[in-house]
Amino acid sequence: MFHVIIPARHASTRLPGKPLLPIAGKPMIQHVWQQACRSHAQSVTVATDDQRIAAVCRDFGAEVVMTRTDHPSGTDRLQEVAVKLGLKDDDAVVNVQGDEPLLPPALIDQVADNLRRFEAASIATLAEPFSDSATLFNPNAVKVVCDHQGYALYFSRAPMPWCRDDFAAGRPELLPALCSFRRHIGLYAYKVGFLHEYVSWPAAPLEQAESLEQLRALWFGKRIHVADACVPPQPGVDTAEDLERVRQLISGA
């Protein structure tokens, strides 16, 4: 069994009030909540520091936990909610972002199941193969390399692995066949006991350099299991253009 927590903040540099933006007659956060409810989660909770979001979520039937406004990271917010829900150290929590209205429920179940199956992991997450070199060299697309058991070795915004001979002359049109390039999908399952450890650690130098929270876990010796997504992930909403694309996808569904 596992629990889903959906962090939802009103503040957003590019799209203020993003969780409440309408998509097909419903606020975005309601679409996210409905997708999470279609998973096998024991509970689905929206975590917010904004009373406007809380009121809307309660209106459509969601459980809501109010959180502090000063969390340095989303993982810190998740830990506060786990405490308020009274979750045990060996419980599993899946962090579903509040701007993923098309997230397939199968992926939520997959990361939760992988966290259970791979006992050495404190975190389970997902990836997918890169299909083009332009995305590989895009710093907004996070890359991951793993060992032979599927445990993460490193995450980076830079292209990884670096195929020296193929990349020597610059960015190639086609990806080298020798290397396996994988894009990280930001869906996580955590053991609650790990969350309590995480918030006690200072930010790691690699985490600060790359602006990637998961590097703190690797820095302090924790293991992250990474599997290829069992179904194709769907686009989230970061920009106004993303919002319009998702509106069209949902309206045409």
Domains of the chain and any CATH numbers: 2-252 (3.90.550.10)
For residue 157, pLDDT over 90 is answered with yes
**Spatial contact of 103 and 143, defined as CB atoms under 8 Å apart:** no
- Residues 125-154 have a mean pLDDT of 94
First to last CA, the chain: 30
Per-residue pLDDT, 172 = 72
26-27 and 22-23 beta bridge pairing: antiparallel
- Cα 154 to Cα 21, 144, 203, 224: the distances in Å are 35, 6, 16, 10
pLDDT-based confidence at 11, cuts 50/70/90?
Answer: confident
Beta bridge partners of 2: 92
Q: What is the pLDDT of residues 185-218, one digit of tens each?
A: 999 999 999 999 999 999 999 999 999 999 999 9
Q: What is the pLDDT of residues 232-242, one digit of tens each?
A: 999 889 888 99
Counting beta carbons within 10 angstroms of the beta carbon of residue 161, is it exposed (0 to 12), middle (13 to 18) or buried (19 or more)? middle
For residue 253, pLDDT over 60 is answered with no
For residue 105, pLDDT over 90 is answered with yes
Per-residue pLDDT, 100 = 94
User: Mean pLDDT for the chain?
Assistant: 93
